[in-house]
Structures are given as structure tokens and as C-alpha cells.
Amino acid sequence: MGCPFLLRQTYRMFTCRKRNPLSRPRTQVLWTPPVSNSRSVSNSSMSIPKDHSYLFDLQGFIVLEDVLTQEECNVILDVLSDLEAKEYEDTWIEAIGGGRPTKEAQRENQIRLNGLPRLDPIFDSLIGHDRVLPYLHEFVGEPQLINTWSISKSKGAAFSGWHRGIPTTDHAYRNGIIRTRMLNTVYFLKDNGPEDGCVVAIPGSHKSNIDIDLQARPAYEMPGATPITGRAGDCLIFSEATLHDGLPKTTDGVRTNLYYNYVHAHYNVMTREPRNCHHFYFPPEVRSRFDDTRLELTQWMDLARWDY
């Protein structure tokens, strides 16, 4: 993540249709900013099932099923395949003295692309997707998009290491309100089985009070490690206070996920990772394509100064 300005114990994860055979134990905390309804998309106009709030508070994540159709996944995959085959000049990196390149392929059997809407308009539609937007407001309050990227894994891609994007103090429950300062939404474009390099998480770690050595415990050696599985079109929503990573990929083919990360409006996006702001910030020509909801979810960019 980055940018200058302004988030084997078995659990059965709750989803919204019959579980498929590739499903596997799954699971799903919060700093509380002042609650505001000043935005045009009012929290009061949206609601999510109470069971979803319960599971998110309990686990730190939930999976929504069938957010995208198979056809939508295939169209995005075709565009992404072309983008992954390209090389990018990234002249801005030299100008600011470093940062993540647009295309990262240094990890064996894995390709990551950063700043997706900069690369193609097809990625615009996943910003504040209709199925996801109520959860952004319910769990973040005043959500702002901070980062977008894709990860495509081939057979042999390895586990990297446990991590979280925010401390557990940035997730809270107060007066019936859940607030997480950073919320990640992961769109599965391909099936995510436990051997496909799916996301793995520690249910409840978003509110853990005990620190342990993360580097010494790969994958399933971490107590409570649970693979988060799903089918193409599903969307994982998790608090970045939750310990997580991706499992090794041992199956054939390519597993591709898209990641759209949101923070509360009080979060200073541009000072989090100044050298990576290029991917966080969208220039006016990109945002000119956005509808009112997407403009609202990227409103911090109106106040940012970024010329690269």
C-alpha cells in the first residue's frame, strides 16, 4: 500500500448461497471515529443483514457470494491478461526517488499490477460496487478508496508472511457501531480453493491482545490459520487489522484476485506511503469517468497535490 494525503481450526463462514465443494472452513474489529452523515450517500439509506455484522465482528471478515457474474469475471480477466503482458516505463519513480512499479513480477510465479483504474476503465465498476457499498458504510463509516491492485498466481507461488495493514487499535465496536479504519475488498476472478493460493487469515485476530512472532510461523503453523475459499465472482471483505496472507499455489492454472482497499475519511492517505501515492491517486482524466458514488469514494483526491 502507499500514497501522500489525507485504512487448523475449522470455522464455517457465512455466505449468501449454498456452499460449494471447494469451500472450506472460513471465518470473519474497531477504532471509532466520530459518526457523520454528511456524505451524499447516507449510511441511514443502507443496511446489511445483522448476521453479516455479527460474523464480521466475530471473525474480522465475511465473504459475499455471486457479486460478479462469470461473464464479468471473464471480461476483466481478458483485459488483465493484456495488461500483465505489457511493460511500464514508470518514469515517475525516478522523479520521487522510489516506489512500487506498476507491474511487480519479482516474486516467482506471481504478477501484481498497481493502480488499476489508471490502467483501464474496466476497473472503475468495482469502486463502490452496489453489493459492496453498504458494507463500506456499515464498517468504515465514511469510506475513501486508498489503493487498488491485482495479484495473479501460478503454480509454485509461495507463502510470503503474515501481516496486517493497521493495528488492532484501529478496529472497534462502540454503541452498536462497528468501525474499522481500513477495509479491504477482494474480488475473486477465479475459484479460490485452499490449494489455489487463496487468502489465509486468523479469525478474530483483528481484536487480539497478544503478540506472537509472526515471522517464525508460516502458513498453517500459525494457530487458528483458516483458508478463505470461494468461487469466481465472490468477494471477500476483511478488516486490515486481521492477520492475513496468501497460501502457496500448488494447483495448475492461474488464480487472479482484485483488491480494492478503503479507509475512513479521517485517514491521511498521502502520508501513509508517500512513495506509492502514484497508485493511490487518480488524475482528473481518470475521475472524469466516475459517477457520483465513485467520485464521493475518491473525494480525498480533490484535495491532494500529485503531479505524477
Name the nearest CA neighbour of 187 among 149, 222, 230, 233: 233
H/E stretch holding 239 reads strand 235-239
The pLDDT of residue 304? 87
Length of the chain: 308
Q: Is the dihedral of CA 7, 12, 18, 20 positive or negative?
A: positive
Q: Compute the distance between CA of residue 65 and CA of residue 68 in angstroms, rounded to an integer.
A: 8
Is the pLDDT at 133 greater than 50? The verdict is yes
pLDDT band at 9 (very low <50, low <70, confident <90, very high): very low
| Phi, psi angles (nearest 5°) of residue 228 | -105, 105
Count Cβ atoms below 10 Å from residue 82 Cβ, excluding itself: 10
103's CB contacts (< 8 A; 6+ apart) are 84, 86, 87, 88, 111, 112, 113, 114
List 196's β-bridge partners, or say none: 249
pLDDT band at 11 (very low <50, low <70, confident <90, very high): very low
Among the ranges given (51-55, 59-63, 187-191, 219-223), the one the predictor scored with the smallest mean pLDDT: 219-223
pTM of the model: 0.85
By the 8 A CB rule, do 67 and 187 touch? yes
- Find cell 459518526 and name the residue: 35
For 106-125, how does the pLDDT look when each residue is reduced to its tens digit (9 = 90+)? 999 999 999 999 999 999 99
Domains of the chain, start order: 45-302 (2.60.120.620)
Is the pLDDT at 247 greater than 90? The verdict is yes
Q: For the sheet containing 199-201, what is the strand order?
A: 226-227, 199-201, 244-246
H helices of the chain, in order, are 50-59, 70-84, 91-96, 116-119, 133-139, 277-280, 284-287, 292-297
For 43-92, how does the pLDDT look when each residue is reduced to its tens digit (9 = 90+)? 434 689 999 999 999 999 999 999 999 999 999 999 999 999 999 999 99
Among the ranges given (119-133, 177-191, 259-273), the one the predictor scored with the smallest mean pLDDT: 259-273
For 23-51, how does the pLDDT look when each residue is reduced to its tens digit (9 = 90+)? 434 433 333 344 333 333 444 346 899 99
For 208-218, how does the pLDDT look when each residue is reduced to its tens digit (9 = 90+)? 999 888 888 77
Is the pLDDT at 279 greater than 80? The verdict is yes
Count CA atoms within 13 Å of residue 119 on its CB side. Answer: 27
The pLDDT of residue 25? 41
Residue 134 cell numbers, joined: 453498504
